[in-house]
Amino acid sequence: MLLSGVGRLEMGPVARLLALLCLCSLGCCVPARTPQPTQVSLADVKKSRGDVPDVLPTSEVDPTNPASDFEISYNYVLSRLAGMDQAMHRLNVGHYTLDVGVDQLMERLSRMDDKMAELEDKIREVYQHSKNNRKETGRLEGCQKGLRVGYKCYLVYHSYEDYAGASKKCMERGGRMAMPRDRREQEALADYVKSLFRPGNRPVWLGVNDLAAEGVYIFDDGTPVSYFQWRRHFLSGQPDGGKHENCVAMASDDGDWWDHYCDRAMDYMCEFDDRVAL
């Protein structure tokens, strides 16, 4: 009753103090609670002391952070450079391998060139031996099968050739086209040719022509002709071909000489020197 009445009175500071003392004497005063200490985290203590920054770093990279973009780009460039370095290394190894292969190939080609040169030399040697053998064979054939007059042998070949072809064939056989240089040789050759083609008449190339200068007759070896056996007849006197007929053949019926076109194909007669092996 008293407390409620006191509570409704308007009291000054002194009156309130006296009322409080009165209440405490009556046992109605409750002691004030002592504040209990609260539990504070270690991070808060360190933060209050200033030991750690306000924002602690995290292990995760923020993709929106410019610093992280630069680091990503830097790491990418480094990885690309590392890949290029490996590629350059492989390329250098490949170039080295290629250089070694090229050197080996060049060495083999060089050895092959040497062997080819040796082979060519042997082929030329064999070819020269073949030519020499053919010439010797032709000379022996001419002297065994043909007509011998002094140290010369003559043989008629039944193979149609023009003047140039006949000259080449005789030289390949180790001789030349027949070149009668005097009456004795001329008469011997006339009888020989007549015996081969009797009773017909087939012209045979001799080694006589005026290809270099019209009317100036030379033998096939380039020496001038000093003896002639032209056909003499009022209807067909020889030579009569002028600049068109420049090569000479012997008639098989009488042995007289006739001038003919040099590209005409006919039999030919070669002569061989039996004094030495050609």
Q: Give the CATH number of domain 146-273.
A: 3.10.100.10
Dist CA 43 CA 193 (whole Å)? 140
Neighbours of 210 (CB within 10 A): 19
Dist CA 112 CA 119 (whole Å)? 10
Per-residue pLDDT tens over the stretch 47-85:
555 555 554 444 455 555 555 778 888 888 888 888 898
Dist CA 28 CA 30 (whole Å)? 6
Dihedral (Cα; 46, 48, 51, 52), 10-degree rounding: 90
Which position has the token pair 């490949």?
A: 94
pTM: 0.57
Mean pLDDT of 183-204: 92
Per-residue pLDDT tens over the stretch 126-163:
888 888 888 888 888 989 999 999 999 999 999 999 99
Per-residue pLDDT tens over the stretch 153-193:
999 999 999 999 999 999 999 999 999 999 999 999 999 99
